[in-house]
């Protein structure tokens, strides 16, 4: 499987004459990680003559076979990171290995092992479904026979077998997305990058894409790296990283990230909130902060739902009936807010060069 | 491990067993070039109306303009009838537009996002440009060959040697025009700019190609410009090929360098060199890392 170490070395040389690999060009042994970066930086020349960092010192580890979400608002550096990991752009500083191969020294080898679903559709609209896939297969060096076999296999798997002769421009948005997914998987990559895979799709098409991703993970163990700004999608993943302004602010399984910021949010509504506030503060563990709001008093408590009966009883004893009570576990939006001080839905692109 | 493995007999290709040895690097790059040529041919066959429309213009020129002017222009002035005189120019006109279109496609691919799919492929960027260039050359030659089928209508014999010579000339010209268009596309980067420039220079290039009228009646400065015009070299190659194999069809002098007509092979060499240089330049610009 591992081709000759020198196979990609003359990538930028004018002619592939130097077939012998320089010493030390052999890729490192594959670690347990599908993706691993250290101090990854990508800066672009800024408008005022300075440099604008798009990605600012990223340390990222993605395990093999896991579904990893990369969560952040628009302009946070998600797409730039993907470009760096696919060797489409060269990092300004830092290192990255993908599928055990160094992105800087062996870009071609990395690209053979990764598949990509671009944020914006990248299909040839004039060609048919099948032709798009065949051209892709040949671009990835497959023999005609393999190209034919894989095209049929992936089209059947993705449920587009009966549309194989349809021109791509006649397909719906959801079908095009599925076709791109099939194309990204045609050459059997070890890591599949998905840049906002469901943006612009209706809920039904979104669910279809996710169904297929789940199947893929179960059957083939492909590592999935998904950028998204949908919280419910990030919730579905094994682990996630939150990026904001080009920096990683948190990394871990969704449950652990939520547990780290702690407690459930309990909200109680009464007809006399100020009075209720005093009672609740006495009944709750010492040091609990209560905040009055338009929906009632809210406070954070571990295992919030078991506290509701106790708080209601305490209020009833003081003659204050409770009209409504709820306990909500922390959401990823709470996690995002905790780390960035903003909600992901209100966070616009951060001002360029803020870190300087 | 690259070049020798391809020619070695019994090289394990992806035809045997479920886990064949990975193909050699050169073979992978060649497959990518083939993928791009294949894509261009598929588009050619899918856009039949577009292809037919592109062919109509030279046919109209040949039979309406050529037919109309044939009566006015005495054969003595050109050595041949005007329709036959016009034929090499119309072959070149047929060839240039698809060749340029494929050059422009590099820009439209960028705008539609398809270029990112190409850049993700595990091949060098030189291979991608080579594939585009080969695609343009093949598509343009195919269209030229369709017009070549009309050779009999202007009084040319269907002589295999003549047809082979004309086809070779068209392949050479298609290659150079595609390479020049790619070099321009890579440097300009914007389709509107490309079309504007094309609209500006296309007419002068065609008129200074020697396809419509002989260049030797033009003022010196115009003849000087013609000597820099790749289309003029293409037309000249085709015209001289015709007079080579049909010797009694004497034709006029085309391109001149300092008052002398260069040898046929040297003209071909100049055209080829221009194409190779343009392709090398385009590759260098295209391969710059982001």
User: Average pLDDT, whole number, for chain B?
Assistant: 86
Mean predicted confidence (pLDDT) in A3-32? 40
User: How far A298 CA lies from chain B's nearest CA (Å)?
Assistant: 48
With an 8 Å Cβ cutoff, are A19 and B22 in contact? no
Mean predicted confidence (pLDDT) in B203-231? 89
Mean predicted confidence (pLDDT) in B169-174? 96
**Please, are residues A70 and A251 in contact by the beta-carbon 8 Å criterion?**
no
Mean predicted confidence (pLDDT) in B66-84? 81
Q: In chain A, which residues have their Cβ closer than 8 Å to the Cβ of B22?
A: 1, 3
CA nearest to A6 within chain B: B1
With an 8 Å Cβ cutoff, are A127 and B42 in contact? yes
* pLDDT band (50, 70, 90) for residue A327: confident
Q: Determine the Cα–Cα distance for residues A41 and A58; give it in Å rounded to an integer.
A: 7
User: How far B233 CA lies from chain A's nearest CA (Å)?
Assistant: 29
CA nearest to B105 within chain A: A124
Mean predicted confidence (pLDDT) in A203-229? 88
- ipTM topping 0.95: no
Alpha helices in chain B (DSSP H): 3-7, 25-46, 48-60, 66-70, 75-78, 82-112, 114-120, 125-148, 160-188, 191-207, 220-226, 230-245, 264-286
Mean predicted confidence (pLDDT) in A69-82? 88
Q: Determine the Cα–Cα distance for residues B172 and B174; give it in Å rounded to an integer.
A: 6
Q: Determine the Cα–Cα distance for residues B66 and A291; give it in Å rounded to an integer.
A: 90
Q: What percent of chain B has pLDDT over 90?
A: 46
Which residues touch B238 (CB under 8 Å, ≥6 apart)? B87, B88, B91, B92, B166, B169, B170, B173
User: Does B3 touch chain A if contact means CB atoms closer than 8 Å?
Assistant: yes
Mean predicted confidence (pLDDT) in A159-163? 91
The token pair at B92 is 């070149």
pLDDT score recorded for residue A31: 52
**Please, are residues A107 and B119 in contact by the beta-carbon 8 Å criterion?**
no
User: Average pLDDT, whole number, for chain A?
Assistant: 82
Q: Determine the Cα–Cα distance for residues B153 and B157; give it in Å rounded to an integer.
A: 9
User: Does B201 touch chain A if contact means CB atoms closer than 8 Å?
Assistant: no
Domain parsing of chain B, residue ranges = 23-286
User: Does A165 touch chain B if contact means CB atoms closer than 8 Å?
Assistant: no
pLDDT score recorded for residue B35: 95
* pLDDT band (50, 70, 90) for residue B10: very low
The token pair at B138 is 């093949």
User: Does B118 touch chain A if contact means CB atoms closer than 8 Å?
Assistant: yes
Mutate to test the interface with B, among A101, A123, A139, A168 (most CBs of B within 10 A): A139
Mean predicted confidence (pLDDT) in A318-333? 86
For B133-147, write each residue's pLDDT tens digit: 999 999 999 999 999
Residues 64 to 123 of A: which have CB under 8 A from any B CB? Answer: 83, 86, 88-90, 108-109, 111-112, 116, 118, 120-123
Q: Which domains does chain A have, with CATH numbers?
A: 33-256 (3.40.50.300), 263-329 (3.30.70)
Q: Determine the Cα–Cα distance for residues B81 and B249; give it in Å rounded to an integer.
A: 9
The token pair at A352 is 């360029």
User: How far A122 CA lies from chain B's nearest CA (Å)?
Assistant: 4
pLDDT score recorded for residue A17: 35
Q: In chain B, which residues have their Cβ closer than 8 Å to the Cβ of A122?
A: 112-114, 116-117
pLDDT exceeds 50 at position A27: no
pLDDT score recorded for residue A120: 86
User: How far B290 CA lies from chain A's nearest CA (Å)?
Assistant: 5
* pLDDT band (50, 70, 90) for residue A343: confident
Which has more confidence, B127 or A51? B127
Mean predicted confidence (pLDDT) in B254-281? 89
Which has more confidence, A50 or B44? B44
pLDDT exceeds 80 at position B190: yes
pLDDT score recorded for residue B3: 38
Phi, psi for residue B32 in degrees, rounded to 5: -70, -40
* pLDDT band (50, 70, 90) for residue B288: confident
pLDDT exceeds 60 at position A18: no
pLDDT score recorded for residue B290: 63
Mean predicted confidence (pLDDT) in A93-121? 91
Three-state SS at A13:
coil
Which has more confidence, A351 or A170? A170
Three-state SS at A301:
strand
pLDDT score recorded for residue B252: 66
User: How far A310 CA lies from chain B's nearest CA (Å)?
Assistant: 59
CA distances from B173 to A35, A287, B176 (A): 48, 84, 5
């Amino acid at each position: 499987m591992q081709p000759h170490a020198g196979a990609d070395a003359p990538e930028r040389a004018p002619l592939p004459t130097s077939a012998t690999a320089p010493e030390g060009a052999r890729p490192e042994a594959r670690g347990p990680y599908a993706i691993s970066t250290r101090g990854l930086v990508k800066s672009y020349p800024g408008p005022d003559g300075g440099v604008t960092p798009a990605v600012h010192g990223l340390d990222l580890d993605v395990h093999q076979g896991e579904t990893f979400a990369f969560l952040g608002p628009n302009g946070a550096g998600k797409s730039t990171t993907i470009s760096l990991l696919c060797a489409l752009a060269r990092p300004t500083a830092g290192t990255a290995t993908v599928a055990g191969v160094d992105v800087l020294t062996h870009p071609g080898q990395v690209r053979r092992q990764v598949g990509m679903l671009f944020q914006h559709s990248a299909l040839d609209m004039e060609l048919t479904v099948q032709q798009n896939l065949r051209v892709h297969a040949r671009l990835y060096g497959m023999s005609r026979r393999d190209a034919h076999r894989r095209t049929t296999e992936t089209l059947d798997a993705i449920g587009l077998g009966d549309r194989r002769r349809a021109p791509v421009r006649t397909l719906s948005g959801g079908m095009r997305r599925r076709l791109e997914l099939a194309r990204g998987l045609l050459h059997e990559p070890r890591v599949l990058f998905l840049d906002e895979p469901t943006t612009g799709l209706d809920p039904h098409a979104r669910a279809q894409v996710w169904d297929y991703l789940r199947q893929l993970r179960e059957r083939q163990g492909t590592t999935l790296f998904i950028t998204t700004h949908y919280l419910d999608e990030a919730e579905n993943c094994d682990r996630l990283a939150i990026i904001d302004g080009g920096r990683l602010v948190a990394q871990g399984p969704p449950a652990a990230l939520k547990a780290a910021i702690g407690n459930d949010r309990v909200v109680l509504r009464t007809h006399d909130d100020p009075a209720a506030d005093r009672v609740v503060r006495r009944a709750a563990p010492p040091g609990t902060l209560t905040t009055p709001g338009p929906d009632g008093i809210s406070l954070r408590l571990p295992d919030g739902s078991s506290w509701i009966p106790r708080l209601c009883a305490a209020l009833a004893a003081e003659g204050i009936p409770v009209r409504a009570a709820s306990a909500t576990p922390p959401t990823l939006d709470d996690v995002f807010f905790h780390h960035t001080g903003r909600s992901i839905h209100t966070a616009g692109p951060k001002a360029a060069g803020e870190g300087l | 491990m690259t070049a020798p493995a391809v020619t070695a007999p019994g090289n394990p290709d992806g035809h045997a067993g479920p886990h064949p040895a990975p193909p050699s690097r050169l073979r992978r790059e060649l497959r990518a070039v083939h993928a791009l040529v294949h894509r261009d041919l598929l588009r050619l066959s899918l856009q039949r109306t577009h292809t037919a429309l592109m062919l109509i213009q030279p046919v109209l020129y040949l039979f309406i303009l050529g037919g109309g002017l044939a009566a006015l222009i005495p054969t003595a002035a050109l050595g041949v009838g005007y329709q036959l005189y016009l034929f090499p120019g119309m072959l070149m006109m047929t060839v240039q537009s698809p060749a340029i279109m494929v050059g422009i496609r590099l820009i439209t691919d960028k705008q539609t996002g398809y270029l990112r799919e190409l850049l993700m492929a595990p091949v060098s960027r030189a291979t991608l440009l080579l594939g585009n260039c080969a695609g343009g050359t093949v598509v343009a030659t195919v269209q030229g060959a369709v017009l070549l089928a009309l050779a009999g209508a202007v009084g040319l014999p269907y002589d295999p040697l003549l047809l082979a010579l004309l086809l070779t000339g068209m392949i050479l010209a298609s290659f150079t025009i595609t390479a020049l268009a790619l070099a321009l596309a890579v440097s300009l980067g914007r389709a509107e700019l490309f079309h504007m420039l094309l609209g500006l220079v296309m007419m002068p290039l065609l008129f200074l190609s020697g396809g419509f009228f002989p260049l030797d009646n033009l003022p010196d400065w115009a003849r000087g410009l013609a000597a820099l015009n790749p289309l003029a070299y293409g037309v000249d190659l085709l015209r001289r090929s015709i007079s080579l194999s049909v010797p009694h069809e004497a034709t006029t002098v085309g391109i001149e360098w300092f008052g002398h007509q260069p040898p046929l092979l040297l003209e071909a060499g100049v055209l080829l060199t221009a194409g190779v240089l343009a392709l090398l330049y385009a590759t260098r610009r295209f391969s710059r890392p982001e």
